[in-house]
Chains A and B, each alone.
Chain A
Amino acid sequence: MRGGMGKTFAIVVVILAIASAVPIVRHTWTPPVDISTHGHLIDAQLNDTMVEVGISFLAAQFVLALFVWMSSAPNSKIKSFPGGAKGLVIAALVLVGSEVIALGAFGQKAWAEVYFRPAVPDAVQIQTQAGQFAFYFRYPGPDGKFGPLHPDKIDEGNQNFFGLDPANDVDSRDDIVTGELAIPIHREVHLMMHAKDVGHSFYVRELRIQQDFVPGLDLSVHFTATQIGRYEIVCTQLCGLGHYNMKAYLNTLSQEDYDKWLKDKAAQQ
C-alpha cells in the first residue's frame, strides 16, 4: 500500500492518544478523597484543567493523524490550509489566551485560600520541625506559649529534638513534643514550620497541602480537616539518603479525643 507508513503512523497516534486518555476518563488513578475545607477548590481546578487539556490533547493528536493520513494518500495534491496563518494566530490568541487567563484567574481562588489570608486568631497552634529523616511536632501546652529554640542544644540522644532549654525557659516547660501530628477536625490548624538541617517538605495528599521547609526561614501553612482518620505525612523535598523513608502520621480527631490525646501526651512529658 503506497503511503502505508504514513497511514500506519496516523492509526498508531490515534490508538496511543485514546489509550492515554482511558485511565483519565475511567478515573483509574486519582487524588484520594479530600479531607480539607479548601481542597475542593484545588480539585475543581484540577478537573476543569483536565477537561480543557484533555480536549486539546485529543483534538491535536486526531488532527495530526487525520492530516498525515490525508497527505499520505498517493494521489494527494499540494494545497494550502484555508484561511492561512493569520486565522490560526488569531484563534490561538483569542481561544488559548482567554482559556489560560481564565484558568490562571480562577486558580487563584484556591491559592488565595491557602496563602493570601493569615490563619484565624483562634487556630490551633502547632510547630513542626523537619530534620534528616523525621518530622517532630510541638504543642505549646497549657500556657499557650512556645518556649524559644536553641539549635546548639539539639540532642537527639536525649530526645531534645527541638533544642529546648526548660531549665532556663519557663515557657518551654510544658511544651509537648511528639513524633506524630494530631489535630482536631473542624478547627483551623496553624502549622509553623522550620527545618533543622536541610530542605524538606510537608505533604499530605488528603489535606491537599504541600509546603517546603526552608532552612533559615520560618514558614507556616493553615488548614482545616473535615474527616476523622489517619493519614501519611511524607517528605517531598530531596533531603538525603533516607528521604524515601521520611514520614510521620497525621491523626485527625474529634475535639474530645484531641483534648484527651493532648492531656495524655502532657502527662507523658
Chain B
Amino acid sequence: MAEASAHVVQHGPPTTFLRKYVFSVDHKVIGKQYYGLALVAVFVGMFLSWLMRLHLINPNGKIWGLHYLSAVGAPGDVMTPEYYLSLLTMHGTLMVFFVLTNAPFAAFGNYFLPIQIGAEDMAFPRFNMMSFWTTFLAFCFLISAFFVPDGPPISGWTAYAPLSAVGSDAGPGLGMGQTLWGLSIFTFCIGSLLGALNFIATTLDLRAKGMTLSRMPIPSWAWFITSCIALLAFAVLLPACLLLILDRVAGTSFFIPAGLVISDKLQPHAGGSPLLWQHLFWFFGHPEVYIAILPSMGIVSHILINSMRKPLLSHKVVINCMIAIGFLSYMVWGHHMFVSGMNPYSSLEFTFPTLIITIPATILTLIWLASLYGAKLRITTASLFALGFISMFVSGGVSGLFLAQPSIDIYLHATYFVVGHFHMVMGVASLFGVFAGTYFWFPKMTGHMMSETLGKIHFWITFVGAYCIFMPFHYLGLAGNVRRYSAFTDDFLIPLIPVHKFITYAAILTGLGQMIFLYNLIHSRFKGAPAPDNPWDCTSLEWSVPSPPPWDNFGGKHPVVYHDPYQYSVKGESGKDFVMQTSPERVAEPNA
C-alpha cells in the first residue's frame, strides 16, 4: 500500500505551564498523563486486592485502620461482606478500564505511535487532549463512589442487571455508587472512542515518507488494530451504560423485567431483559480482553526482536495473526454466557470461534519461540519481562481451552478457575508487556536510564510471585471454589482455605515487590544516568530522535524511511549490527 506522505504541522510549541504540562496537546505529554493515571489506578487497585485477600483468609478479623477508609464498610476495622464486594467491583473496574486499557494502549500508544510512524503529533491533537481529560473525569467519577453515603457499587465489574439496575432496594452500594459507576464507564467510553479514532486517523494519514504499512513496527500495528477493535467495542458499551443509567434514574426498563420483588417491594418495571445487558456488555467485554493484550503483544515482539538481534520469523504472519485475533474477538462473546439461560444451541456458534482463536494465538507463540532459536540474546530487564510475557501468555492462555467448551463450563463457570485464567492472560501477561515497555522506553520518555539491578529484582519477584498467586486459582476452581464470595462458609470450601492463605501471602509479597518498581521509576526519573539517543541499538524511528524527543518529535525535519522495521544482524555500511529505518545506507541482505 502506498504511504501517506502529507506532512502536517499540527501545532506550535507550548507557551505556558498549563499548556505544557496540564492541558497539553502534545501526544508525548498525553501519553505520560495516561501512564500516570494508570500508575495511580494500578496501585489503588492492588491495594484493594490486598484488603480483599486479607479479608478472605480471616473474614471476622480486623484490618488495622480500615475504618478510616469506610466507617460503614468496616465498623471496628472488620470488613462487611458488602464492602468486600465493593472493593471487588472497584478493583476489577480500575484494573480493566484504567490500567489494562490505559497503560499498554493509550499511554504507550499515544507516546510512541506518532514517533514510530514519523508523525509530528496525532491527527487531532485537541481531540487527544480531550480523550485524556474525559478519561480522567471518568476516573474521578469512579473514585468518588468511595465517598458516597451507601458506599461503592457491589455488582462486580460486569455490573449484571437487574442487580445493577434496580437501585438501593437490592442492597447497599447499589444507589449513588452504582450510578457513578455507570457514569464513569459511560465517560470512559467517550474518551476511548475519541482516542481510537485519533489512532486510526494518525496511522492512516500521517506516516512519514517511505513508511508503508508493511514497514510499520509491530507495536504500531498492534495499536492500530487495537484502535479498530476499541472503536467497535466501546461504541456498544457506551449506549449500554446510557440505558443502564436511564433504568436507574429515569424509570425505564431496558434491563428489568416485570414482576420482580425486591426487599418485599414489587418493582415498578416491565418489559426489560437482563440478558440484553449481558449480551451488550460481553460484546464489548470480550474484545476488551484483546484491547488489553494486543498492544502488549506488539510491545513484547518489538523488545524481543531488539534483544534477540534478529527479526521475528515472519513479520507478516505476526501482523495477520493479530488481525485475525481482532476479527475473531467479535464472534465469541457468548462463551461468557453458556449457563446464562440463552438458547443452548447458540453455544455451538460461540464455542467454535473461541476454540479457533487458539490457532492465531498458537501461531504467534510458535513464532516467538521459533524466533528465539538461534538468537543472540541480550538480557535486560525489558527482555526478561518480554520473555516472562511469553511464559505467562502460555500459562494463562491454555486454560482458556477448558472454558471455551460449554460442557466443561457447566462445572468451571463462576469458579476461581475463571479468575485464574483471566488474571494470568489478560492481567499479568498484559502488565508484563507494560513493564517491558516501561523499562525499554523509559530512557526515551524521560532522558534517564532506569536501574537495571532494581529492575531485575523486580522482575524475579513479579515473575515467581505471579505464578504463586494465579496458578493456585486454577486448582481452587477445579475443586469448585466459587468466586465473588466474601467468606468461605460452605463445608466444601473450608478445606480450601489454606490455599487461599498461600495466595494471600504471595499476593502481599509480590505487591511489596512492586514498590521496588515504583521507587526505581521515581528515583530514575530524577537521578537516573542520562540516556543516550539509542541505548538499546534499536532500529525504529523513536530511537532516531533525542531522549526525550523535542516537542515536534523530529526537530522540524521530515523523516524519511528506507527500510523494513527490523534490520538486525545485517551487513550495512556503518559496520554496526543494525541499520535504522531512517538510515539511507544500503543493506546487503535486508530482513523482510
Contacts and interface: CB of A to CB of B under 8 A. Distances in A.
Interface of A: 3, 5-6, 9, 12-13, 16, 19-20, 23-24, 28-32, 41-42, 45-46, 49-50, 52-53, 56-57, 60-61, 63-64, 67-68, 70-72, 76-81, 84-85, 88-89, 91-93, 96-97, 100-101, 103-104, 107-111, 114-116, 131-132, 151-152, 154-156, 163, 195-199, 201, 203, 205, 208-217, 219, 232, 234-245, 247
A242 B81 contact: yes
Nearest to B366: A88
B80 to A, nearest CB: 7
Given A71-B374, A108-B348, A240 B163 contact: yes
Contact of A84 (B314, B363, B499): B314
B366 A92 contact: yes
B452 to A, nearest CB: 10
14 contacts: A5-B456, A16-B391, A42-B408, A46-B408, A52-B401, A57-B394, A64-B369, A81-B373, A108-B407, A132-B171, A151-B260, A197-B261, A219-B341, A245-B487
B321 to A, nearest CB: 9
Given A53-B402, A238-B484, A243-B484, A103 B162 contact: no
Contact of A244 (B170, B476, B489, B496): B489
Given A53-B398, A151-B261, A92 B363 contact: yes
A29 B476 contact: yes
Contacts of B379: 3, 5-6, 9, 72
Contact of A53 (B273, B401, B471): B401
Contacts of A91: 366
B113 interface: no
Contacts of A85: 313-314, 317, 367, 370
Nearest to A209: B410
B95 interface: no
Given A89-B317, A197-B260, A216-B259, A80 B374 contact: yes
Nearest to A205: B480
B157 to A, nearest CB: 10
Interface stretch (B63-71, B240-248, B350-358): B350-358
Nearest to B496: A29
A217 B341 contact: yes
B395 A214 contact: no
B173 to A, nearest CB: 8
Contact of A60 (B369, B404, B485, B489): B369
B471 A115 contact: no
Given A154-B264, A216-B258, A217-B341, A236 B482 contact: yes
A151 B491 CA distance: 33
Contact of A241 (B154, B257, B313): B154
Contacts of A203: 414, 480, 482
A111 B162 contact: no
Interface of B: 80-82, 85, 154-156, 160-163, 166, 170-172, 174, 256-262, 264, 266, 272-275, 308-310, 313-314, 317, 339-341, 344-345, 347-348, 351-352, 355-356, 358-359, 362-363, 365-367, 369-377, 379, 384, 387-388, 390-391, 394-395, 398-399, 401-402, 404-408, 410-411, 413-415, 456, 460, 463-464, 467, 471, 475-476, 478-480, 482-492, 496, 499, 569
B368 to A, nearest CB: 8
Interface centre among B82, B166, B257, B398 (most CB of A within 10 A): B398
Contact of B375 (A78, A84, A108, A216): A78
Nearest to A23: B475
A262 B484 CA distance: 35
B484 A215 contact: no
A46 B411 contact: yes
A93 B310 CA distance: 25
Given A84-B314, A131-B261, 15 more contacts: A3-B377, A46-B411, A78-B310, A104-B351, A107-B407, A114-B407, A196-B260, A199-B274, A205-B411, A205-B492, A232-B492, A236-B414, A236-B415, A240-B163, A244-B486
Given A76-B377, A81-B370, A20 B467 contact: yes
Interface centre among A64, A85, A238 (most CB of B within 10 A): A238
A111 B413 CA distance: 14
Nearest to B371: A81
Contacts of A195: 260
Please list the 7 inter-chain residue pairs (A to B) with the smallest Cβ-Cβ separation, ordered nearest first. Answer: A216-B257, A79-B374, A85-B314, A115-B344, A110-B407, A241-B82, A244-B485
Contacts of A215: 162, 256-257, 260, 274
A190 B363 CA distance: 45
Contacts of B266: 151-152, 154
Contacts of A5: 379, 384, 456
Contacts of A46: 402, 408, 411
B489 A245 contact: yes
A63 B492 contact: no
Contacts of A213: 341
Contacts of A68: 372, 377, 387
Contact of B261 (A16, A50, A110, A196): A196
B375 A71 contact: yes
A134 to B, nearest CB: 13
A241 B317 contact: no
Given A111-B347, A216-B257, A32 B492 contact: yes
A210 B411 contact: yes
A71 B308 contact: yes
Nearest to A193: B341
Contact of A243 (B345, B478, B485): B485
A201 B467 contact: no
Nearest to B258: A216
A215 B270 CA distance: 11
Contact of A208 (B80, B174, B411): B411
B367 A88 contact: yes
Contacts of A72: 377, 379
B405 A45 contact: yes
Contacts of A45: 405, 407-408
B407 A41 contact: yes
